[in-house]
Amino acid sequence: MSFKLLLVVMCLWIWFLSLAFTISDEGLMRVSLKRRNLNFQSLNSSRIKRVIHQRNLESVDQNCCSKDVVYLKNYLDVQYFGEIGIGSPPQYFNVVFDTGSSNLWVPSSKCIFSIACYLHSKYRSRISSTYNEIGTPCKIPYDDGYIYGFFSQDNVKVGDIIIKDQEFSEIIWEANLALLAFPFDGILGLGFQGISVGKVTPVWYNMIEQGHIKDRVFSLWLNHDPMAEIGGEIVFGGVDKRHFRGEHTYVPLSQKGYWQIEVGDILLGNNTTGLCEGGCAAIVDSGTSLIAGPTGVVTQINHAIGAEGYVSIECKNIVQNYGNMIWESLISELNPEILCVDIGLCSNNGFQRIDDVIETVVHNENLDRPFCTFCNMIVLWIQVQLKKSNVKEKVLKHVDELCERLPKPVGQAFINCNSISTMPDITFTIGNKLFSLPPEQYILRVDEGSVCYSGFVALDVPYPQGPIWVLGEIFLEAYHTVFDYENLRIGFAEAA
């Protein structure tokens, strides 16, 4: 009898603790994330390849998005993902919680001609009692092309809550063989509805509309420790104070669609890199490990950290043939923005375009003469060096060395793992405050730490949309991030 009484007391005590936890976390919903370690193949194949005009996307609704530009990525470098359920009873999937996109998509049981589908969990509508057929076809941009599917509606379980009647994409064709390497099944977009293919309402919008979370905000903590049991956590409805130190620095969104803000100068050690002193756009993106930015700045970073594996013939030819002319023009205080037009390497608008497709020059296989981009980079580099030295030979020699560090067309930049401790901090200016990344943060180690890569890759977007930075998981591991939909702002604080 005493044993039964003890059992009842223990059950009541557990129930009380559970109730207390629910009350203390009222309005908050947590999703634990898993972390995978990158390997040589996944990181070397990863890329943020190009930027295309949104109007060229062949989606269900040609007017689906208000943004002019969408950049493409292949998710092969993503390290963090979590579990959701779709249907009744729930069918479980590992998904990337991606602030750089807005759709929810998973493989469909009707995906029978793509090998990748057989290696991942597939949604089976026939066994869900809450499934509603929509059937409208859709094409979601991915890497070099699209993945194909159709829209459906069902309940979605995220953490302990169920979002009713959520529209999502069942994928029936995954043509890219790279999808075979995914350790996850699909993507859950946390971007705005404006960039959603088909204008589908994002999952987190419906969390708010259905009253599941108290405040219109979510926060992200990524655990940099590869040995930790918990890889990270998303908190919908607020923040967990255990995940950060000090106060958040908040900056307003500069454009709604992506979680996009404005950043100021990027410092290499204590030195300016020049390009973003007047401000650059930056997209905060949990769907990539990398930090992408203008080739002119990324090249300066790669030079400083000794990155290897680059091509540079065209760039060096411009330095040899036009370096003196560019130097004299800048010394004479001619307008640097039109200098490359004056010497005949750029068209009147200063940029080269092909059929409304804009690609970073190192990834663009269609341009036979990418001299304009190289010329503009060289002008920038000479401007930066003029602040340090007025000796022409010294400056042009340094610029020639920078040409040797231009990113190659595919893959990442190798780094000597033994020299990490001597590398400079890379610092972003956000909201008039400095957010530094030490080399241990921006260097990616793979194959048990025996191979090291630079976490910086090139992405060139012409004016007026660019220049653009993409701040991926490397940055988000260092800084706990609050995505505030109520006030249309993003906050950063040192991660704990």
Which has the minimum average pLDDT: 28-37, 193-202, 313-322, 477-486? Answer: 313-322
User: What confidence tens digit (pLDDT) does each residue in 2-16 have?
Assistant: 545 444 444 444 443
pLDDT over 90 (residue 172): yes
pLDDT over 90 (residue 441): yes
User: What confidence tens digit (pLDDT) does each residue in 444-492 have?
Assistant: 887 666 678 888 988 888 777 778 999 999 999 999 999 999 999 999 9
pLDDT over 80 (residue 330): yes
Read off the pLDDT of each residue in 434-440 and give the average, rounded to a whole number: 96
Q: Is 285 a catalytic residue?
A: yes
Read off the pLDDT of each residue in 267-276 and give the average, rounded to a whole number: 90
* Residue 415 neighbours by CB distance under 10 Å: 25
- 354 burial level (CB within 10 Å; 0-12, 13-18, 19+): exposed
Read off the pLDDT of each residue in 411-429 and give the average, rounded to a whole number: 85
DSSP secondary structure letter of residue 82? E
Residue 346 near residue 340, CB atoms below 8 Å: yes
User: What confidence tens digit (pLDDT) does each residue in 149-162 have?
Assistant: 999 999 999 999 99
Which has the minimum average pLDDT: 184-188, 307-311, 334-338, 419-423? Answer: 307-311
What span, in angstroms and rounded, lies between the C-alpha atoms of 308 and 288?
22
pLDDT over 90 (residue 405): no
287, 293, 298, 300 alpha-carbon torsion, rounded to 10°: -140
pLDDT at position 346 is 82
User: What confidence tens digit (pLDDT) does each residue in 222-253 have?
Assistant: 998 878 889 999 999 999 999 999 999 999 99
- 301 burial level (CB within 10 Å; 0-12, 13-18, 19+): buried
Q: Is 447 a catalytic residue?
A: no
Nearest-CA neighbor of 465 among 53, 41, 78, 190?
A: 53
Catalytic entry in 77, 98, 143, 185: 98
Domains and CATH numbers, the chain: 29-50+70-222 (2.40.70.10), 241-309+408-495 (2.40.70.10), 313-348+367-403 (no CATH)
Pairs from 141-146 (Cβ < 8 Å, separation ≥ 24): 141/52, 141/57, 141/70, 141/72, 141/197, 142/72, 142/74, 142/176, 143/47, 143/49, 143/72, 143/73, 143/74, 143/176, 143/178, 144/49, 144/72, 144/176, 145/175, 145/176, 146/58
pLDDT at position 376 is 86
pLDDT averaged over every residue in the chain: 81
Higher pLDDT, 124 or 25: 124
Higher pLDDT, 348 or 319: 319
Q: Model pTM greater than 0.85?
A: no
- 16 burial level (CB within 10 Å; 0-12, 13-18, 19+): exposed
pLDDT over 90 (residue 280): yes
Strand residue runs (E) in 159-210: 161-173, 186-189
pLDDT at position 4 is 52
pLDDT at position 57 is 36
Catalytic entry in 143, 154, 265, 285: 285
